[in-house]
Amino acid sequence: MSRSALFSLVAAILGVLAFAVTPVRALTVVGNGDTVDGWNIIMPAGMTMLWEDNKPSLTLQTTSAFNTTAGQQIMFVQALYSASSTITFDTQAITNSSFTRFTGMTQSVNTMLSGTRSTPALIGSAFTLNNPGKTIFTSQVTTGTRNTLSGMLMNTQTSRLGYGGGGNFIINANPATGGGLKKIFAFREDPIPVAPVPPAFWMGLSTLMGLGAVAGLRKMLGRRVA
């Protein structure tokens, strides 16, 4: 075998080996009502969800838009006793399409039926906000079942959580494993809109502006008379 042929053969073998050890990131579209990793998933209208089916536990990517200031939630209904013990949101793209500004967003885990095990809760901290150009939100406070994001998300802006090494969001689902009642819970997101200015403020402002205008007119007239 010639030297060039030998080099070609070695390169081909190394290429096959590299392909064999490199994990394939497989993404499957999740339809509303689909059962994935033992969980029946019911999502809000307009949400796009992808399942990373090469992961050992249920791992999802979501894209959603908030057309109003009303909250949205994803329902997780345990279908199998072998259901994934954790549910991970690898990335979330959240778009504000409400024609108003959001000053933050709450992400919470709400249990409808706890089943035979303890209620679901967050594991550790949520997404890291290390890239303000993508995340938009600048700070957060995480408790056992709630994460509160803060930062101004303007109308038409999209917050991309988990992108570019921004961590992930993990829920300890605590599914029933040995018979008995299964688990039902929701992952809910509620925008925090800019607080409206009370009507009394505008009335008071218009009054002050009116008084200022009257005083200015008197001053101008006084100068003319003089």
Per-residue pLDDT tens digits for 127-155: 999 888 899 999 999 989 999 999 999 99
Question: Could you tell me if residue 172 is inside a domain?
Answer: yes
Which DSSP category does 80 fall into?
-
Residue whose C-alpha is closest to residue 71's, from 189, 187, 193: 189
Question: Could you tell me if residue 207 is inside a domain?
Answer: no
Task: For the chain, list the strands marked E by DSSP.
Answer: 27-29, 35-36, 39-42, 48-52, 58-66, 72-78, 86-96, 102-113, 121-122, 139-142, 146-153, 158-161, 169-172, 184-193
Q: What is the largest CA-CA distance in the chain?
A: 113
d(CA 176, CA 190): 28
Question: Could you tell me if residue 140 is inside a domain?
Answer: yes
Average pLDDT, the chain: 83
Mean pLDDT of 155-163: 95
Both structure tokens of 15: 């290429």
d(CA 181, CA 117): 9
Provide the number of structural domains found in the chain. 1
Question: Could you tell me if residue 149 is inside a domain?
Answer: yes
| Domain membership of residue 136 as a residue range | 26-199
Question: Could you tell me if residue 195 is inside a domain?
Answer: yes
State pTM to two decimals: 0.76
Question: Could you tell me if residue 209 is inside a domain?
Answer: no
pLDDT tens, position by position, 23-73 = 456 899 999 999 999 999 999 999 999 999 999 999 999 999 999 999 999
Question: Could you tell me if residue 62 is inside a domain?
Answer: yes
d(CA 145, CA 32): 24
Residue whose C-alpha is closest to residue 190's, from 97, 125, 106: 106
Question: Could you tell me if residue 155 is inside a domain?
Answer: yes
